[in-house]
Amino acid sequence: MANVVDLRSDTVTKPSPAMRQAIANAEVGDDVHGDDPTVNRLQEYMANLLSKEVALYVPSGTMANQVSIRSVCEPGDELILDETTHSYNYETAGPSALAGVSLRFIRSARGVFNGTDVEPLVRPRVMHFANSRMVIVENTNNVGGGSVWPLEQVRDVRAAADRHGLHVHLDGARLMNACVATGNKPADFARYVDSISICFSKGLGAPVGSIVAGPADFIDRARRFRKMFGGGMRQAGIIAAAALYAIQHNVERLAEDHANARKLATALAELPGVKVDVDSVETNIVIFDIELELGGAANFAQKLRERDVWLLPTGPQRLRAVTHLDVPAAQIDQAIEVFRALCTQPSAA
């Protein structure tokens, strides 16, 4: 495995020795009873970082989004979100199954929309229609190739939501990537939303866990639904220690991942049979298409894997590569050489 360049996702990162030491030394208690001191420190730290009243540690980004939806919505309510959004595409129909809500979709460029996209989708307040209740913003947007929301667009969506009494939830699984890319602070984005989630187990390198933050009454309900959905944890300080280490030590280095993604995209753009928009690579995700002469995406991914470069096909001719802290610049060079061999030697592909 030492020579494998694993670009499947930034979820594949492993704890560093220093993070493992933090795990080993963690103070623990029963978090369901509120007795775990490390979890409590993490929650207080994140609430302060995001300028929110309270925060809640949960096992995953999916649970963070789903408890947020259920804490705001009742069955028969409706969410407004872009069609690329993670909580629709990759959370096993959780909004429908767990909250009983319907969905209305925005179609935008790379998952980044405006308040003017939201307003036509708000239902009239009459008994014939679902109750428009929540807008979800995903920053960065995964399917959009790690696209970053400009702060003014988050503010614009907030203004539209206020005109119609809508709750705004920010799925900020990769929000720290957006912050590093723009120079904004997490609270700069958080101030325009009612609730927010951040994932520790992607580019930040922790093994598990996400945070949800918002008003105290919202978090009270979120804690109840965390328990209902099976997310109540006991001596969770062991994993919370890793999350706390990640947020305190692994944010600034995300810039290295962004540089590596740009380097990879630039090299791919020069290869025959590969189409990639280098200017769209804002953070750590590179989405690219291959021409038919290189075969289908699944077959091409298999050829790469046989040469120790792992990534995921996301469509018939589309693939995704994600850079992270376990892929140093030297491994990007290694991957580029493999791509070059496959693209310039048709028989190899």
List, for residues 95-121, the tens digit of each pLDDT value: 999 999 999 999 999 999 999 999 999
DSSP string, 250-315: SSTTHHHHHHHHHHHHHHHHTSTTEE--GGG--SSEEEEEE-GGG--HHHHHHHHHHTTEE-EE-S
Looking at the fold, whether 313 and 179 belong to one and the same domain comes out as no
pLDDT at 108: 95
User: Could you say which DSSP state residue 201 is in?
Assistant: S
**Mean pLDDT, residues 41-70 taken together:** 98
Last residue of a domain, one of 249, 271, 293: 249
Evaluate whether 335 touches 7 at the Cβ level (below 8 Å). yes
Find the helix packing angle between 254-269 and 329-344, rounded to 10°. Answer: 20
Q: Is residue 4 part of a domain?
A: no
326: pLDDT strictly greater than 80? yes
Last residue of a domain, one of 220, 249, 278: 249
Find the helix packing angle between 175-182 and 254-269, rounded to 10°. Answer: 80
Looking at the fold, whether 206 and 279 belong to one and the same domain comes out as no
Evaluate whether 221 touches 48 at the Cβ level (below 8 Å). no
CA dihedral 17, 210, 282, 319 (to 10 degrees): 90
Looking at the fold, whether 196 and 276 belong to one and the same domain comes out as no
* Chain-centroid distance, C-alpha 194: 18
pLDDT at 247: 98
Looking at the fold, whether 168 and 30 belong to one and the same domain comes out as yes
Q: Is residue 208 part of a domain?
A: yes
Please provide the average confidence, as pLDDT, over all residues in the chain. Answer: 96
Looking at the fold, whether 258 and 245 belong to one and the same domain comes out as no
What is the pTM (predicted TM-score) of this model? 0.95
Count how many domains the chain has: 2
CA-nearest of 213, 222, 229, 220 to 98 is: 229
Looking at the fold, whether 295 and 331 belong to one and the same domain comes out as yes
Q: Is residue 7 part of a domain?
A: no
CA-nearest of 109, 118, 186, 96 to 141 is: 109
pLDDT at 266: 98
**Mean pLDDT, residues 325-339 taken together:** 97
User: Could you say which DSSP state residue 148 is in?
Assistant: P
Write out the residue range of the structural domain in which residue 222 sits. 15-249
pLDDT digits (tens, 9 = 90+) for 214-254: 999 999 999 999 999 999 999 999 999 999 999 999 999 99
pLDDT at 1: 57
Among 3-7, 282-286, 312-316, 344-348, where is mean pLDDT lowest? 344-348
Looking at the fold, whether 207 and 272 belong to one and the same domain comes out as no
pLDDT at 345: 79
Which CATH number does the domain housing residue 122 bear?
A: 3.40.640.10
Which CATH number does the domain housing residue 281 bear?
A: 3.90.1150.10
